[in-house]
Structure 1
Amino acid sequence: MRFSLARKRFKDLTEQEVLALAISSEEDDARIYRGYAENLREDFPDTAAVFDGMAAEEDTHRKRLIDLHEARFGSTIPLIRREHVSGHYARRPVWLVENLGLERIREEAAAMERDAENFYLAAAARTSDTATRKLLGDLAAAEAGHQSTASELTETHLSGDAQTEEDSRAHRQFILTWVQPGLAGLMDGSVSTLAPIFATAFATQDTWTTFLVGLAASVGAGISMGFTEAASDDGELSGRGSPWKRGFASGIMTTVGGLGHALPYLIPDFWTATITAFVVVFIELWAIAWIQNKYMETPFFRAAMQVVLGGALVFAAGVLIGSG
């Protein structure tokens, strides 16, 4: 509550403070674009060049705003940033966006310009002061100009072939870093935990005990798979990306795969829980086959046969051991 009360409402800002806010916002956006460019430069140099150009454009607008401030209010610019103003648009952290892929970064950059333009237009519509309205309108026009500049830079640096090549490279990186380890984890979690879960189920016919065994097997397998994937390859030579990202994907999906058919045993009735678990296993195995077909380009029938046959064998082993 103290933080909320400490923030100033936009409508209470003076014209000088609005101008100072615009200056700091332009400076922050230029730094964000340069951060994108630096992170993309090695793998996607053409898109990095686009963000370098957008950062330079932000610098140009910031300089014009500073010149205007000096002419109207002097050289001392008040310190006011987005986080100081209630209701002002916020930027997502660079570290959060840069981990979501090339296309997501491009979309975020476009959204940055739209957010700024829309905010200034809405702010201009709410003020009755002529000078303030003109100032906010000019800022909105500047942001709209940024969008045009971004399009021109994209056309200059990203030809059709270059963008197609970068998109293909980004898709391949997504497959290697997230899909492949995640799929391996899902397969391991779904198949390897079948035997201990159903062996326990048929040996004890105690749903709570079965759930605890399934929970332990799923979490343990997830931790093991996550650390194994992270330690197996640093990604430098193979190009598979960050080991921690791959380990996270593998560990989480392994746990999810095991928990899928462990959770039904929270149902007190043994046969209701077991039949529900059968259905969940069926869905899990077909989901794995679908992912293999969509992302790994494995023929669906072959993927289904491999996964379903392997799952059926492990499932049968668990049932036979538990029934004996």
Structure 2
Amino acid sequence: MLSRVFGFSRRPFDSLSEQEILALAISSEEDDGRIYRAYAAGLRDSFPQSAKVFDDMADEEDRHRTALIEAHRRRFGDTIPLIRREHVRGYYERKPDWLVRPLGIEKVRAAAEDMEEQAHRFYMEAAKRTTDASTRKLLGDLAAAEQGHQSLARQLGLTHTPESVKDDERQTERRQRILTYIQPGLAGLMDGSVSTLAPIFAAAFATQDTWQTFLVGLSASVGAGISMGFTEAAHDDGKLSGRGSPVKRGLASGIMTAIGGLGHALPYLIPHFWTATTVAIAVVFVELWAIAFIQNRYMDTPFLRAAFQVVLGGSLVFAAGVLIGNA
């Protein structure tokens, strides 16, 4: 286990023979081609023009791989040693597409440019270690190609994704982010912040016991979070509505619901009742205005209307809790 973590079982790059360097280059080009095709497949439904960019980049990697295989066949025969980037100490790593794709289209383009830069550095070092003239020329040509294509994603984007298309893609990505994360999270935050006001402050003024009040707030917040999370995940699978993964929406809604309630429950960990209550009321004030801001920022709700709805509703629930607690 430790040998894998610290790279003791890996070969130093300087120890590779010329045949192993060619084999490493071939496997790297194969992996990069697969990654680009995975990017294209992941983007095709929502961003078809950008998917073409990565299709073209995968074709470019295939041409590099073919040239490298021909060089290996000419010098060393048809049997290519099995050596991959994870076998070489200090060699660059690639993030799998499932780690990059959720980060958004701009992050995927940036990842592609990093891949080209890393490949350029590899070919430069590989060319220095090669004595065969034709192989060295091939590696040098590939280094130059990778250097020229460090901005290949951007250059191909000019062909397939002009600014008008990029604007559309950014709007599509923003809309999907709102539907999958922000809208369910906002609904959860509103429910958690507002619905727990009455039980928490009713318990506070009825008992004037900060620990008991905290337990009521904790149970109400966690219970509401679980309920909202399951409800959001279960009522819509996202296939027809286009709202995205029900698991992601359920987590966003459930977590934000719990946070909304815990915000004004946590102050009751303070032993002094009136100090805890003052802090809790201040937190409620911040929560309600934060909800109004998010509605205005992401849901295009006029700020004054959002503030009126949220603050008025929250104030009514807060007043109900105080009245019940003092009854």
TM-score of the aligned structures, taking structure 2 as reference length:
0.89
1:49/1:257 Cα in 2 relative to 1: closer, same or farther (>3 Å)?
A: same
Match of 2:91 in 1: 88
Residues 135-166 of structure 1, C-alpha deviations (whole Å, 9 max, x = no match): 87555433223334433321221122222222
**Secondary structure of the residue that 2:262 maps to in structure 1?**
helix
Match of 2:19 in 1: 16
Match of 2:290 in 1: 287
Give the Cα separation in 2 of the matches to 1:267 and 1:115: 53
Give the Cα separation in 2 of the matches to 1:130 and 1:34: 31
Match of 1:79 in 2: 82
Give the Cα separation in 2 of the matches to 1:131 and 1:265: 74
Give the Cα separation in 2 of the matches to 1:31 and 1:130: 27
Give the Cα separation in 1 of the matches to 2:151 and 2:257: 45
Give the Cα separation in 1 of the matches to 2:90 and 2:296: 46
Give the Cα separation in 1 of the matches to 2:152 and 2:226: 47
Residues 196-246 of structure 1, C-alpha deviations (whole Å, 9 max, x = no match): 222222222222222222222222111111111111212222221222221
Give the Cα separation in 1 of the matches to 2:204 and 2:182: 32
Structure 2 counterpart of 1:73, which letter?
F
Give the Cα separation in 1 of the matches to 2:271 and 2:310: 30
| 8 Å contact kept, 2:112–2:153 | no
Structure 1 segments unaligned to the other structure (5+ residues) = none
The answer to whether the aligner puts 1:153 opposite 2:169 as a matched pair is: no
* Offset, 1:289: 1.1
Structure 1 counterpart of 2:285, which letter?
F
Task: State which of 176, 180, 184 in structure 1 corresponds to 2:183.
Answer: 180
Match of 1:61 in 2: 64
| 8 Å contact kept, 1:101–1:174 | no
Residues 263-283 of structure 1, C-alpha deviations (whole Å, 9 max, x = no match): 222223322222222222222
* Offset, 1:296: 0.8
**233-242 or 43-52: which moved more?**
233-242
Structure 2 segments unaligned to the other structure (5+ residues) = none
Match of 1:2 in 2: 3
**109-118 or 20-29: which moved more?**
109-118
1:236/1:20 Cα in 2 relative to 1: closer, same or farther (>3 Å)?
A: same
Give the Cα separation in 1 of the matches to 2:131 and 2:238: 56
**Superposition pairs of residues 96-135 of structure 1, within 5 angstroms:** 96-118=99-121, 123=125, 129=129, 131=131
| 8 Å contact kept, 1:186–1:256 | yes
* Offset, 1:52: 0.8
| 8 Å contact kept, 1:57–1:146 | no
Identity %: 68
| 8 Å contact kept, 2:13–2:90 | yes
Match of 1:277 in 2: 280
Match of 1:297 in 2: 300
| 8 Å contact kept, 1:36–1:98 | yes
* Offset, 1:34: 0.9
1:91/1:296 Cα in 2 relative to 1: closer, same or farther (>3 Å)?
A: same
RMSD: 2.4
* Offset, 1:130: 6.3
Give the Cα separation in 2 of the matches to 1:112 and 1:271: 58
1:202/1:161 Cα in 2 relative to 1: closer, same or farther (>3 Å)?
A: same
1:159/1:205 Cα in 2 relative to 1: closer, same or farther (>3 Å)?
A: same
1:129/1:152 Cα in 2 relative to 1: closer, same or farther (>3 Å)?
A: closer
* Offset, 1:46: 0.8
How many residues are aligned here? 321
Match of 2:220 in 1: 217
The answer to whether the aligner puts 1:238 opposite 2:241 as a matched pair is: yes
**82-91 or 239-248: which moved more?**
82-91
| 8 Å contact kept, 1:50–1:154 | yes
1:69/1:267 Cα in 2 relative to 1: closer, same or farther (>3 Å)?
A: farther
The answer to whether the aligner puts 1:323 opposite 2:315 as a matched pair is: no
| 8 Å contact kept, 1:177–1:242 | yes
| 8 Å contact kept, 1:16–1:73 | yes
Give the Cα separation in 2 of the matches to 1:212 and 1:116: 56
| 8 Å contact kept, 2:109–2:153 | no
**276-285 or 263-272: which moved more?**
263-272
Give the Cα separation in 2 of the matches to 1:64 and 1:128: 19
Match of 1:42 in 2: 45
